[in-house]
Structure formats: structure tokens, C-alpha cells
A and B are shown apart, each in its own frame.
Chain A
Amino acid sequence: MDNFTVCAEISTKDRYFTTLSLCIQGIILQTRPPNELIIYDDGEQKDLREVPLYNKLFHMLDRKGIKWEVRFGLRRGQIFNHQNMLDTCKSTFIWRIDDDCVPEPTCLENLLSSMKDDVGAVGGCVLFPDMVLSPPHFPLIDLEDIRFNSGNIQWFLFEGEKEVSQLYSTFLFRVKAGRDSGGYCMELSPCGHREESIFSHKIKRIGWKLIVNPKAVTWHYAEPTGGIRTYSKHPDYWANDEQIFQRKLSEWGVKMNQYKFIILDCGLGDTLMFLNILPEIKNKYGKDHKIVLAVCFPEVFQDEKDVTLISIAEAKMICANSSMDFDSFNVYKWAIGHGHSAHLIEAFRKLYL
């Protein structure tokens, strides 16, 4: 791969003095710096050259030979900025980075190392500083499972490259592939929930591979203010975008896998009691559902076939990233809430069957 150029893109909103500067600094310190950085400002739209911190950062960009530009966005949400970047970019690749993400110095170098001729986009691990997890025991690669688990292998540290069906958050992509795919989904709300999943999967659908290289690490500071968190008080935006995403999945012919999700965050005795109804659960759900058990005592199920065992921590993550309430799986809370007075096995039966 010769004679290519990379343009880094940050779409930002109201994060001047929280994480934006860290993100820019992360770009400056890349072992293989991008050729250019374009910042889309959907926030106050200050002249950042007059802000001492940014004045210094811009000088650092100059020193590193990274051309830079700040564009005032339309304040209609990040998708308009991403699409404008795609429409106007003169580089071979766009490296899009969220404004609360900080790339490791080797991030871009590693992303580029995976950008083979048949690859349309490459993502890396996008990790939370306070929660680095090993890969879970449930599938994360296929869109068929995304409703259950959000499908983000990028949240975990793992070994070796993986080909995936969609990318999340920050990634490097081929401008030609992005344009040929039809670009971003402009129907989405200003928060742009699922925008990167839709965009990256469209690239895959026209024949390009999507790769995750775990050596390319970006730290997600998950800044609670600014960015898309500005729209936290608009659940309708998220619901609208999810509805559009589901419609897209349907148009693409993606048939969602059905899950029977069970959380046994309880003692060994309770877990053994649950075993009494597992055959009934398999009988009822086993044919058309994947049965996923989150357990504290996996050894109880070592002889069980056709069930996927995950940890309680994984279950909490799945619940946090879906509409499921972790506590609603607690058989004791269920028993108290329903005035249950019969056997606990019967409570399990009523809760899960």
C-alpha cells in the first residue's frame, strides 16, 4: 500500500474542556501521524486559536506536520459532519475518532497494518479505562446477535484480528468504500445512535471486509457531558434511531437470533434448584432460541449441552446495553414482588417459563 493519505476526523460538541484536548493530543502523538486533522465543531464554535490550550495543540499539530482545520458544523448532529467529511475528503482514508476517545500512540499504525486491499474499514479495541474485559462467552461478530449483545467485540481485549459485520465508535475506513456504500444514514436523529453500525455494515455489504485489530487500542473516557450525551434527555431520538436500525436489518434480510436469557446471580443451592426446570426450558425454547445462562457456578452446568454459559459481569454488561433490567431476573425479588409462597422451583418456573 503506497502513496496513501489519512485524514483524522473528530466531530465534537461541548467538550472543549473535558476530553477534546486529550483526543487531539492522542492524535498528535501517533507513531504514524495522520496527514490531516479536521475537527467539526457542533458546540459553541469558539475560535479555538484564541484559547491558550488549543493554541498550543494547534502548534503541536504544525510541528508534527499534521495539517489541521476546524469546521463549524450545522449543529444538526454528528452524521451531517461525518457525511460532509466523506463528501469533501481528499485523502485515501478517514480515521474517525470520537471526541471522548484517546488513541494509544500506535493506534493508527496498527489500524493501517490491517488495511489490506480487500479491507474497507478497520477498527480497534475501544476500551473503558476502568473496565477492561476479556472476550465474553457469547457471540459478538454477527448482526444476527446484535439485538441481544450490542455486537461490539471492540469493547474487549483479545488476540488476533477478527472479521466482523459492523464497527463501532472509532475506526479507519477507505473513502472510496464509504462513498460507494452510499454514505451515512441521514434519517437518524441528531444523536446518531447506531450510525457507525449502519455505515460500516453498508461498506461490508458492497464487498469490503471489516476488520478489528485488537492491537489498535483507543481509550474511551465516556465523558458524561457534551457529545451525544447532550441528547440523553431525548429518549425518543434513541428509540427512533433503533427503529431505523431494525428496519435496515430487516431490509438487509438479517434475521435476528432469539435468545432465552437467564441470570442466576444466586447461591449454589438456588442454582442447583434451577437445574430442575432446565429440561422444561430446553423443551420450550431450545428449538428456536439460544439459551444463555449467566451463572456464578458454571460447574453445575458442565454436563449440559445446548446452553451458553456466561459470567454475571457479562450479564450486567448485556443488561446495561439493552432494555433488560438485571434485577428482573432475581428469583427472590420476583417471589417477594409476586407474593409467592410456594416452592422456589415453582418461582423459577414462573419467572422463566
Chain B
Amino acid sequence: MKKIIISPWSKLLRTPGKPNPKNPPLVWWKEVVNLLKQKDIYIIQIGINGEEPIGANEIQFNLSLQGLKELTKKCDTFISVDNFFPHLTNLVGKPGIVVWAKSSPKIYGYPTNINLLKDEKYLRTDQFGTWEECNYDLNAFVEPQVVVNSVLNIFEK
């Protein structure tokens, strides 16, 4: 059985209740997970205590960096939003899928990954500004099926 890690959430913003524009909604993630499970893929969610579970087979919260590296090596690939995790997997040498919305993969991504950016028109103009000032846009994310197809493409290679 193939194993993938999902790092679904970027950190909370300082403004209480304001969603991080990097994060797809929970329902979006649940659909991704359901579709992956239908393909008999084992899913491990990583993050920190208090983050919303997305229905993965396993949750590994609060792992150390070393623990995350070891877990990454044991898994076949990963799915992540634009947070710290793609930078860690880049150092480990594990390619995966990054779901982008308003930040540019040309500035923050790696060509070794499949960078799923729906459209450049959603990118924020101030790529180095703070996220507090950026509006959330649900339309900026690709469809869940696009993510699943990308996973399958990786497995077929």
C-alpha cells in the first residue's frame, strides 16, 4: 500500500478567526482524502496539536524535524500547502505535490515538485508582504480531483 503524508495547514494568522489564504477549506481536504482512500492509499496527516483533522488514516502531530524527516523518507510522496513542509522535503530529496493559491511557486516553490497553481491571476501582487493583509479566496485552489490525479501520476512514474 502506498503511503503519503499530507501537511494541510499553514500557520494561524494573528488576526483571530481570519483564515490563512494559503489553506484550502476543510471540506476540500476531506474530499481529497476520500478520493485517495478510494485508491487504497494510506494517508498520514502531520501538523501540530489543535489543527483540524482531515480524515487521514493516521495523525502524527508535534513531530520533531528529525521525526518528520524520517517519516518523509518512509512515505512515497507528500501533499502540502505552501508551508514549511515542502522546504523540508526538498532538503530530504522527496518530491511531492504543493497546493498553491496566492503565493508564487516561482518564489517559494521547487521545480522538483508538482506545483498546483490554478491560475497566476490569483497570485497576490505583494509576494513579500504579510499574510494578514491578504484576502482569502476559495476560488484560488485547484479542484481536489486535480490533486489526486497528480498523486496517481507520481505513482505511475
Question: Chain A: residues with CB nearer than 8 A to chain B?
Answer: 267-269, 272-273, 275-276, 299-300, 302, 332, 335-336, 340-344
Contacts A272-B88, A299-B66, A344-B107 supplied; 20 other A-B pairs, CB < 8 Å: A267-B11, A267-B84, A268-B87, A269-B84, A269-B86, A272-B84, A272-B87, A273-B87, A275-B91, A276-B90, A276-B91, A299-B65, A335-B128, A340-B128, A341-B127, A342-B106, A342-B107, A343-B107, A343-B108, A344-B108
Chain B residues in 8 Å Cβ range of A340:
128
The chain A residue sitting closest to B105, CB to CB, is A343
24 contacts between A and B (CB under 8 A): A267-B11, A267-B84, A268-B84, A268-B87, A269-B83, A269-B84, A269-B86, A269-B87, A272-B84, A272-B87, A272-B90, A273-B87, A273-B108, A275-B91, A299-B64, A299-B65, A300-B65, A336-B128, A340-B128, A341-B107, A341-B127, A342-B106, A344-B107, A344-B108
Chain A residues in 8 Å Cβ range of B66:
299, 302
Chain B residues in 8 Å Cβ range of A299:
64-66
The reply to whether B128 and A332 contact each other, CB–CB distance below 8 Å, is yes
Chain A residues in 8 Å Cβ range of B90:
272, 276
Chain A at the B interface: SS class:
helix
Chain A residues in 8 Å Cβ range of B107:
341-344
Which 4 pairs show the lowest CB-CB distances between chains A and B? A272-B87, A269-B84, A268-B84, A335-B128
Chain B at the A interface: SS class:
helix
The chain A residue sitting closest to B111, CB to CB, is A343
Restricting to B80-101, which residues have a CB under 8 Å from any CB of A?
83-84, 86-88, 90-91
The chain A residue sitting closest to B130, CB to CB, is A332
Chain B residues in 8 Å Cβ range of A302:
66
Question: Chain B: residues with CB nearer than 8 A to chain A?
Answer: 11, 64-66, 83-84, 86-88, 90-91, 106-108, 127-129
* Interchain CA distance A335-B108 in the complex, whole Å: 13
* Interchain CA distance A336-B128 in the complex, whole Å: 7
The chain B residue sitting closest to A267, CB to CB, is B84
* Interchain CA distance A267-B12 in the complex, whole Å: 13
Chain B residues in 8 Å Cβ range of A342:
106-107
Chain B residues in 8 Å Cβ range of A300:
65
Chain A residues in 8 Å Cβ range of B127:
341
* Interchain CA distance A28-B48 in the complex, whole Å: 56
Chain A residues in 8 Å Cβ range of B11:
267
* Interchain CA distance A336-B125 in the complex, whole Å: 12
Chain A residues in 8 Å Cβ range of B83:
269
* Interchain CA distance A335-B90 in the complex, whole Å: 22
* Interchain CA distance A275-B110 in the complex, whole Å: 14
Chain A residues in 8 Å Cβ range of B87:
268-269, 272-273
Whole-angstrom distance from the CB of B86 to the nearest CB of chain A? 8
* Interchain CA distance A340-B84 in the complex, whole Å: 21
* Interchain CA distance A87-B127 in the complex, whole Å: 65
* Interchain CA distance A267-B86 in the complex, whole Å: 13
The chain B residue sitting closest to A343, CB to CB, is B107
Whole-angstrom distance from the CB of B66 to the nearest CB of chain A? 8
* Interchain CA distance A341-B107 in the complex, whole Å: 7
Whole-angstrom distance from the CB of A265 to the nearest CB of chain B? 14
Chain B residues in 8 Å Cβ range of A343:
106-108
Chain B residues in 8 Å Cβ range of A341:
107, 127
Chain A residues in 8 Å Cβ range of B88:
272
The chain B residue sitting closest to A334, CB to CB, is B128
Chain B residues in 8 Å Cβ range of A336:
128-129
Whole-angstrom distance from the CB of A20 to the nearest CB of chain B? 44
Question: If A342-B107, A343-B107 touch, does A272 touch B91 (CB 8 Å cutoff)?
Answer: yes
* Interchain CA distance A275-B107 in the complex, whole Å: 16
* Interchain CA distance A343-B83 in the complex, whole Å: 15
* Interchain CA distance A268-B88 in the complex, whole Å: 9
* Interchain CA distance A32-B111 in the complex, whole Å: 71
The chain B residue sitting closest to A346, CB to CB, is B107
Chain B residues in 8 Å Cβ range of A275:
91
* Interchain CA distance A299-B67 in the complex, whole Å: 12
* Interchain CA distance A335-B91 in the complex, whole Å: 23
Whole-angstrom distance from the CB of A210 to the nearest CB of chain B? 42
Whole-angstrom distance from the CB of B127 to the nearest CB of chain A? 8
Most buried by A among B87, B106, B108: B87
* Interchain CA distance A275-B129 in the complex, whole Å: 22
Whole-angstrom distance from the CB of A168 to the nearest CB of chain B? 39
Whole-angstrom distance from the CB of A340 to the nearest CB of chain B? 8
Whole-angstrom distance from the CB of A341 to the nearest CB of chain B? 7
The chain A residue sitting closest to B108, CB to CB, is A344
Whole-angstrom distance from the CB of B103 to the nearest CB of chain A? 10
Whole-angstrom distance from the CB of A126 to the nearest CB of chain B? 36
Most buried by A among B65, B84, B86, B129: B84
